């Protein structure tokens, strides 16, 4: 089995592919079907490397500048371009806990109600 993580990306030339067999080696199990690749695996090989280095550098743009010999705006631009391809992640402006804390601050709920709401992950729309 080829262990080169970028082999599949190079082989497909960035064209969409469907995986039809998944094997769990340690369990001697195989599942047949049609499976999409995870969003990160659909990125071009060089973008996968860029993301891996970004994660390894703990999100340090300064480290990315040094590692790739590029400027801050170039790092930001590339990250934005990659992020645009990863539409599987949606981040809400406020979390349920923020909403609960705002309601508590306005006196709409008690501390005990706030604690309970945060435990349940409630939102008040």
pLDDT in tens, 16-72: 788 899 898 888 899 999 988 788 888 888 899 999 999 999 999 999 999 999 999
**76 and 32 assigned to the same domain:** yes
Task: Give the CATH number, domain containing residue 44.
Answer: 1.10.10
Q: What is the pLDDT of residue 3?
A: 53
**43 and 97 assigned to the same domain:** no
Q: Is 68 inside a domain boundary?
A: yes
**71 and 100 assigned to the same domain:** no
Average pLDDT over the chain, rounded to an integer? 82
Residue predicted with more confidence, 9 or 41: 41
**69 and 11 assigned to the same domain:** yes
The range of the structural domain enclosing residue 24 comes to: 7-85
- DSSP lists the bridge partners of residue 5 as none
Distance CA 70, CA 29 (A): 45
């Amino acid at each position: 089995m080829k262990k080169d993580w970028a082999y599949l990306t190079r082989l497909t030339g960035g064209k969409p592919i469907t995986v039809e067999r998944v094997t769990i080696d340690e369990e001697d199990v195989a599942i047949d079907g049609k499976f999409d690749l995870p969003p990160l695996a659909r990125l071009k090989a060089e973008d996968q490397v860029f993301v891996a280095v970004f994660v390894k550098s703990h999100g340090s743009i300064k480290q990315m500048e040094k590692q790739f010999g590029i400027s801050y705006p170039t790092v930001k631009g590339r990250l934005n371009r990659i992020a645009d391809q990863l539409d599987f992640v949606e981040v809400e402006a406020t979390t349920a806990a923020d909403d609960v804390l705002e309601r508590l601050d306005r006196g709409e709920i008690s501390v005990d109600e706030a604690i309970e709401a945060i435990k349940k992950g409630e939102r008040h729309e």
